[in-house]
Structure 1
Amino acid sequence: MQPDSKNGHREAMSQHFPASDTVKEEQEVAEMGPPEGSAPMTSTVITIPRETPHRDHVLWSLFSTLFLNWCCLGFVAFAYSVRARDRKMVGDIIGAQSYASTAKCLNIWALVLGLLLTITLIAVFATVSAVNFRLYFRI
């Protein structure tokens, strides 16, 4: 049985679709916004300082202590590096920078002296070996 009139058609459609009044009420509720008495929406901004980590030169000092420890400069540099790391962990940035710069300076001196003394020892050893070779074979 099919409805012939417009009223019959509306009655058949009302069973499948909600009435237009209900749709309008739903739209009005959705447009109302937050309920009264609620706190306004706020946002929190967290700023993280872009501070570069200060180097404490512990690995360089350890290398200087183990391999280039002429005049104990590597060991003293290692002690200053550990102090710089301790100051950094406590939060004393200025103290950490001071100890780290001293450790860096000592590491540079240990490296330069270590290289110069090593090159000097190699040159002396080569010269003595060449002289002994000539004397032995009477060249």
Structure 2
Amino acid sequence: MNHTVQTFFSPVNSSQPPNYEMLKEEHEVAMMGAPHNPAPPTSTVIHIRSETSVPDHVVWSLFNTLFMNPCCLGFIAFAYSVKSRDRKMVGDLTGAQAYASTAKCLNIWALILGILMTILLIVVPVLIFHAHQ
């Protein structure tokens, strides 16, 4: 076994014979692993800013603008959604979140009022028609 370590660690173009104690030390390092460092290992943490998902609700706002637009709430929600998208493109995530929150609230109200108005536009004529018969 010592012979394989000697041929493995011996220099190729050396005119001097290899030192036995140096070979023995290299053999021990090879068998036991690298020497242990008394200092604790340090780690480096790299924070990579990923695309933070701030929903801007543009599609929902566009739907409400086209189909459910009582009191122009859908259009106003669309304007806030576009502002939210602009803030997100600039990198202002706090501003984008604020505009998106306002757009979401306006979209909810536009949807609720639009559904109520649609139901009333169906129910009221039906009730009037049945009342006259």
**TM-score normalized by the length of structure 1:** 0.61
Q: Please report how far the alpha carbon of residue 72 of structure 1 lies from its aligned counterpart in structure 2 after TM superposition.
A: 1.3
**Who is 1:128 aligned against?**
128
Aligned-partner residue type, residue 55 of structure 1: P
Q: Secondary structure at the match of 1:47?
A: coil
CA-atom RMSD in angstroms: 3.4
Q: Which has the larger radius of gyration?
A: 1
**Who is 1:54 aligned against?**
54
Q: Name the CA distance, whole Å, in 2 between partners of 1:110 and 1:71.
A: 8
Percent sequence identity over aligned pairs? 59
**Who is 1:6 aligned against?**
none
**Who is 1:84 aligned against?**
84
Count, aligned residues: 111
Residues 108-135 of structure 1: CA deviation (Å, up to 9, x unaligned) = 1101110111111101121233345x2x
Q: Secondary structure at the match of 1:103?
A: helix
Q: Secondary structure at the match of 2:46?
A: coil
Q: Name the CA distance, whole Å, in 2 between partners of 1:27 and 1:117.
A: 91
* Larger deviation, residues 53-62 vs 24-33: 24-33
Q: Name the CA distance, whole Å, in 2 between partners of 1:20 and 1:131.
A: 108
Where do 5+ consecutive residues of structure 1 fail to align?
1-18, 34-41, 135-139
Q: Name the CA distance, whole Å, in 2 between partners of 1:52 and 1:44.
A: 23
Q: Name the CA distance, whole Å, in 1 between partners of 2:47 and 2:95.
A: 25
Where do 5+ consecutive residues of structure 2 fail to align?
8-19, 35-41
Q: Secondary structure at the match of 2:123?
A: helix
Q: Please report how far the alpha carbon of residue 43 of structure 1 lies from its aligned counterpart in structure 2 after TM superposition.
A: 7.4
Residues 51-77 of structure 1: CA deviation (Å, up to 9, x unaligned) = 851111111111111110122111110
**TM-score normalized by the length of structure 2:** 0.64
Aligned-partner residue type, residue 71 of structure 2: C
Q: Please report how far the alpha carbon of residue 99 of structure 1 lies from its aligned counterpart in structure 2 after TM superposition.
A: 0.9
**Who is 2:73 aligned against?**
73
Q: Name the CA distance, whole Å, in 2 between partners of 1:65 and 1:26.
A: 82
